[in-house]
Structure 1
């Protein structure tokens, strides 16, 4: 798992799995597995799956030709609401992109370290 800065200000975590590393062959299979992990955690609430690829096609947006599929699984760690500002950084999502020979899985760094660790563990568990 790499930590990166996207567009010089967004801190993200990202991992690229070769297709041979995973038992999953589609983005939907990965989403299904992530949803199982989210549903098994009593603190995390699944919200939705968003098809970023289809949305971009429908609005006639630009898609890098190397990208075959792109979806986000959206969820929330809602253990507390200490200030109104916390809602600005919720909910969370994990993005899954299919390339020719790999899947890229990433998420935006959360202000809560426990949430980052949980998301990193969920993503890394895909390889088990």
Structure 2
């Protein structure tokens, strides 16, 4: 798993897993895997699945899609345990992005200010790699 800065301001975690080394080798399988992990977590709450690929393609000339991306979805959920200020709503909920490429899946998520949330999402993503 790599930690990088996207666009010089977004700290993200990314893992690329070859289709020949991933436990679930379909988008639906990966989405189901993440939803099960969220449902089993004592704090996380599943919110929705978002089909980013279809959304962007439907924009026609107003949308732009990397032609190497075959499918793109987000699993939306929340780890929020506290709401000390109204501004906390600006950084919630969370999502894990799954992009399907010809030979691999790219899994990514934005770093959270909560170490236990980062640890959980990193473990979930790494759990997709077949042993």
TM-score by length of structure 2 reads: 0.93
SS at match of 2:127: helix
Deviation at residue 68 of structure 1 after TM alignment: 0.3
Q: Aligned residue pairs: how many?
A: 128
Displaced runs of 4+ in structure 1, greater than 6 A?
none
Matched, 1:104 2:102: no
Counterpart position of 1:121: 123
SS at match of 2:67: coil
Mapping for residues 13-92 of structure 1, pairs under 5 Å: 13-60=13-60, 61-92=63-94
Deviations 1:73-125 (A, max 9, x none): 00001211122222111000000000000000000111111111111111111
Stretches of structure 2 that go unaligned for 5 or more consecutive residues are none
Deviation at residue 24 of structure 1 after TM alignment: 1.6
